[in-house]
Structures are given as structure tokens and as C-alpha cells.
Structure 1
Amino acid sequence: MTVSEQLSELDKIFAHGDLNTLFQPILSLSEQRIYGYEALSRGPSTSPLHAPLPLFSAARQCGRLGELERLCRKTACERFCALNLDSLLFLNVCPELLLEPDHQPGHTVEILARLGLPPERVVIELTEQMPISDVGLLQTALQHYRAMGFSIALDDLGAGYSSLRMWSELRPDYVKIDRHFIDGIDRDPVKREFVDSILSMARASRAKVIAEGIERSEELATLMEMGVDLLQGYLLGRPQECPEFDVQHYLVTLNRQFLGGADNLSMLLIDQPAVRADTTVPQVQELFSSQPRLSSLAILDNTQRPVGIVHRHVFSEALRKPFATDLFARKPISRLMTLDFLAVEQSCSLQQVSRLLTHRAEQRIEENFIITRNGGYLGLGRTIDVLARITEQKTSKNIRTAPASANQLL
């Protein structure tokens, strides 16, 4: 297409707001649900600019990339709310546009306010297509978005111009591993080493890792075995205008196919009452005093969903500080609860939970984790019990597969 033809097609799209938004699911294994949807924009089905590559390429050549991205964001947010999707919304944003002098930082917030969608449910996903000359300026722009409640994701980790440097300096909440490193990971030990390194760095920087571009069951099995929790790809769900996805049925199938079946957390569940976030610190102190064996206490919101956890050793250390007893005498436990906690669905397998516990940087063996059903609080599980069961299973397997002794052979 000539530049004039591209401009003509873009004029039509902008005049009628004629864009389609597809949504591709991101699954969470630990939470056994759809964690979020990535919004993917397409031009009109009859237009030569239908596919994303020619669409965004034409807008860039015509100097209208910013205008196109704003329309994409508006359309995606409106469609996301119209479909009433109960998850996070991942919005692709070209980082170079955040650095333009005429960039309007309040544009997305205005759209969300009109739709009643809180920024906390939106992830700004940086798609690195061009080298960034001023990372410091980009960092300032992202701090502005974070202050408004948005989370930040770095897309295509390992494929960009300086993605590791951007990760180090921008400290995103999510990193998405480039499809190149997922393709054939089951057959390539170097790719497994790369992903394992990414998981280690993510633990250090408290970022969540998303493996995208999963297309084969062998790739999925390998990633699950490595402890990757957030997964995306055609194998799990293709982009759709109206996503229909039976996540519970699919995850049960995954557990049976890759993780050995129905060995879930029911046998480890501790029926321990939880408390609400507005419970006072002295009330929690009394609970720990009256239950000497209680090592952790889940904190719930008004909908009975976990929002934090209090571990006895952390709680005790906080109250031993000078004047702490007086300082927290009337304060809610939300002031002392730990936000970095592990919550897993009851239907998760022991292997899944074991890997998640192993990959947590600060999980101590005496600390409990939270068990949920459909996101609601069910009870607690003990880390030591999971490790004991896994060891028992491995020992049993080794006994069954051990070679016969000399006496047995005679």
C-alpha cells in the first residue's frame, strides 16, 4: 500500500472507531482461574489493515501511532466492561509514546472512570519495538501510572533491544517471556536454563512471570514442572471477541494429564477460622496467646477472600519493638499483615503447591499458606506437610522401581 492509501484506510478507521478487540486468557495454576486477559486490537475484517502488523506499521509511518493506541485502549476498555470479564485487563502500550511531549497521561484514567473500572484491575503492558533512549524519563512516566493504581508488565522478555536493563531499572510487576524461549523448551536445555534464571530474578525483584506463546502440550508440561504459574498461548485459549473458557474443566484435565490426578490439598486442609482486616491487633494477639500451636492467621476482606496473612514469628517481632504495644493498641491487623502470601485452590495438586513453595524467596517451613475454593477462604495448609507428602511419594516410587536384591533374584 502507498502512504496515501494507508492514510485513507486509517481515516476510515478513526472516523468510525472501527476496531475490534480480541481477548486472550492468562491462566493462573495456583489460583485455578483465569488471571487476566490480554487485549489484542484488529482493524476491520474487510480492510487491508486488519492484521495488527500492517495496522500499527501504517499508523507509525503516517505519524498517527499515538492516535491509534488511544483508540485501541478506549475500545478494549469498553469491550472488557461490556463483557463483564472478572479478571485483570492487560493493555499493550508502546513505551516510546509515553515519552512524547504531547502524551496525555490522564486519558486512560478518564476512560476507566467513565466505565467504573478501577485502575488496579489494569496492567500496562510495555511492548518494546524500538530502542528507548531515555529510560529515566520512562521510569518517571511509569511512576505516574503506578501512583494512579496501574500495574506494569514488560512484554517479550529476552527479545527486545534492552529488556534486561529495562527490567532492572523499571522493576515491572510482571514479565512476559518471549515466545522464542517457550517454543520447544521441552527439548532444549538451554531454554530451560534461561527460563529458570528468569524465575530466580523474578523472585528477587518480586515480579510475576508469564509464559506466553504456549502451543504444545509438551511445552506446557515442562513449564508446569519448572513452577511457572501464569500461562498464556493458543494451547490454553486463542484470542476471541467473546471469550468462552471453562477454566475449571481445563485445569482438572491438566492435573490429571501432567500432575498425577486427584491428589489435591483436601487431606492437608486445616480448618482454621480467619479474621477480617479490621480486627484489632490486640484481638489477634489474644488469638495467638490462646492457641499456642497457631503459627499463621489468614486475613479476609468483606467477601471472605484472603487479602493477607499474619505469621506468629513476624507478629511477635513487630510487637517487641519499643512502644509497639501502645502504637498498635487500637490499630487494625491490616497494618501488620503480610501482603506477600501464597493462596492456592483446594483442587491444586501437591506437586503444584510444592513447586510454588520452593520458588518463593522468603517462605519459611513453619509458615502456613492459604487454601481457597473458588477464591474464597477455606482454611490453611502447612508447608512442612506438603514437603512430607512429596517426600513420602518419592520414597514410595523409588521402592516400587528399585531393582530386586540378590536374594529376590535367587
Structure 2
Amino acid sequence: MMKKMATILGLAGTVAAVAFTTPTIAHAYDTISNQSTQNYTARFVNQAKTNDGIYKYGIYNTSRSTATRDLNGSNWEHRFIKVTQQATTASGTWVKFSYYGKTIGWVKKSAIEPYSVKQNAIALIDKYHYRGTAMLIKNYASNSVTASTGYAYYGGRKLNTNETVYPTASLQKVITAAIIVQLVNEHKLTQYTRLSKFYPNIKTSADITIRQLLDHNSGLEQANEELDPGRFLTEAQSVQYAISQLNATGAGKHHYTNANYIILAGIIRQLTGKSLEENVQSRIINKLGLTHTYFYNTIPANLTPAVSYKYVDNKNYQYYPLTTNLLSSLTGAGNMYMSPADYYTVQKGLRNGKILNKSDYYYLSNHYKYAYDGGMWHIKSNHMKYSSGSLRDTGVTTHMYLSEGNKTGVLFFSNQKGTGTTTADLTEKTLYRLVQYYM
């Protein structure tokens, strides 16, 4: 009897326990509607005030994993992003975005504003106090973006534009090299022709080849390089001026010097009976239809070329003159002015048959035998080419960073030298990333 009573009491206890258990209620998640694919660039705004939540795993409150934020918008103010999707829920309109190629998550659309690649390129250039024009190239310029910032001539408040012509500095060297290859095709010399054939009085000239001049492996060094000579020099005089300052360290030794290309310009004069300027006009400018390419002494009076400035003591547009005397001494090595778009046309012309064909291009580049070949540096690991230009004691800096086939890359011509990073880093590590991830 006692055992039976205990059993009954046990069952009663169990029933009582069941009766007082709180039932489980399913969480009501938001439903997603109006989904669409997007493809535009933007930046975060007003996050100091709103601090919107960023959700890695989906739109807020649409699943268990999206109940709480993963990132704070306050840490993303003005970051440049790419929007890839949009959707609507009860809580508002949301966008999915990536940052330099990495998908981050979802945020309310009100947290961002459209912001173009051009706007961001200008912001990045200004951040480091450079002034100039950048050409960002994608798909052989069919989807290119040109961004200009600052003044070509601050005194006259003349803005830099995509038509501004800038001193090219060393970016000119490949043009001189291309004419040498044309003369090789015309059987007027070979890459193995000795320098002594043209300038026998140069020490070790019997041991120096045309190829070594093209690749800066002649062992020649020039004293007082890129210093104002104190007088104006004709083309012929500039060659003799460079030769008078040469020091020969031995053929085969690499030494980057303007003298190699000034001497090549002199060889072009000897072989053609025409000035380098005349050769460039007929062989390059006319062939390509260039409209914003000039030698320093042929710039039309109605055109404002970029003036040389530096950012100094927290001030923009501090004038650092680029003299006519200095430019006159750089025949073949750095006395031309061009727009970035014209320079890109030249790079294409080195392969498309208008200046050289593809076979000639590989000859020009010495089949990438050395790091520097034929007027440019070549990076074998990623099939990119680059060239940097600057002129001593001026604010002029130019940089090219292109794929060997010219499909993608950046040209940045600057007439104010900034701070905090080099022109090469700004071009290759910052602006080029916009091409990779946002264009």
C-alpha cells in the first residue's frame, strides 16, 4: 500500500513539473525583400554620430547569427568601399560591401554615400600633398579614369587637367630607345655596335655596345648630373657637355645615368642627319597622332605647362624652378613634356606596330634579361613594367606602372612633390589598388 502511494505521488510530481515548464517560442526574424545586384563605389559617412552596425553574416535580425553587430561603423568613417548587393527588411534598406577585394558584410544604406574612383584617387593624392594628374587604366583604357588635382600654375590659378603637359623626366628615355630600335630595323646599327664607331674619344668606348647604353650597363658616370649648366645648350652642345663630364668605371657595370641616353640621342643625330627633336616629331608624334607632346622649347604660347612646386613647411605651391638651361642639357633623357594620356599612347605604340611591333618590343626590352632594359624597369614576377622620373632640386615627379601588355596600370604625373610617401609608392601601392579592386 505504501509503495503504491509513493508511485502515485511520484507521477503527480512529474505531472506537476511538466505543468510548470515555460514553453519555447520561436524568434521572429525579419524577412528579406527586394534583393538586387549592385556595382558602385561609395564611402562611409556620419559615423561619428550614427556608429552604424556592420554585420558579417547577413542583414541584421534575419538569422540567429545576425542578432548583434560584428563591427562598428565609427571605425570605418570615409573608408572607400564597393557595394555589391542591396536588400530591404523591416528595419530598412541594407547594402553588402567589400573593401579592397575582401567582402566585409552588410550595413544600412544610410551609412554610406556614393563616391567615385576618381574622387577617391584625388583624395589619396591630396592626402600626401602631391598635385598632378593620374590616369588609372583598366582593359586597355576602355574603362580608364583620369583624376587631376591642384594647379598647373598656381600664380595664374590655372588648374591641372587631363590635358596638362608635365615634364616627363626619365620617362622620356624609352622614346629615345624606341628610335634606336627603329634604326636597327633600318640596318643602320645593331645592339652590338660599339660606341667607338660614333664617339671614339670616350674612354672605354671600344668596349661599350649600344645595348649597354640602352640598359645603363656601359659603366659610364656623369658628374654634375641634372645640375643647371649655367647656359643654354643646343642639342649638339648638350651631347658634348655630357661627354666632357664622363667617368668610365668599366663596360658592363650598371650605373643609371642620363649620359647613356644623351649619347644615344647624339648617335641618332649622326645616323639620321637630323636632330632628335625632328626624329621624335616624324617617328613618334606624327605616327601616333599625339596632341599633347612637346619638347621643352616648343610648347605653344597658349598652353600652360605644369610648373614645378614642392610642399614645404605645411605649405603648398612652394616654387622650385625648372630652368630652360637644365632642360636643354637633357637631350634624349628628360626634356620633353607630355600628358599622361599621350604617354599611354606611346606605350601602346611600342607594341601595336605604330612605332614598334611586339617582336621589336621584346628586342627593346632585351627579353627582360636585366631589371632595367631599353628605357624601363621590368618586374618578371608579375609581368609589370615601370619607370620613375624626377629632376633634381625641383618638384617634378613622374611614374608609370603598367602591365607589359598595357592592359592595366597607372600613370601619375606630378608637378608638386608631396610628403609621407614616394611617387612610386603612391602609384604602385595605393592608386594601382583602385584599379585592381574597384574598377
TM range (shorter): under 0.3
- The structure that is helix-richer by fraction is 1
Bigger Cα Rg: 2
- The structure that is strand-richer by fraction is 2
Task: Work out which structure has the larger RCO, using CA pairs closer than 8 Å and 6 or more positions apart in sequence.
Answer: 2
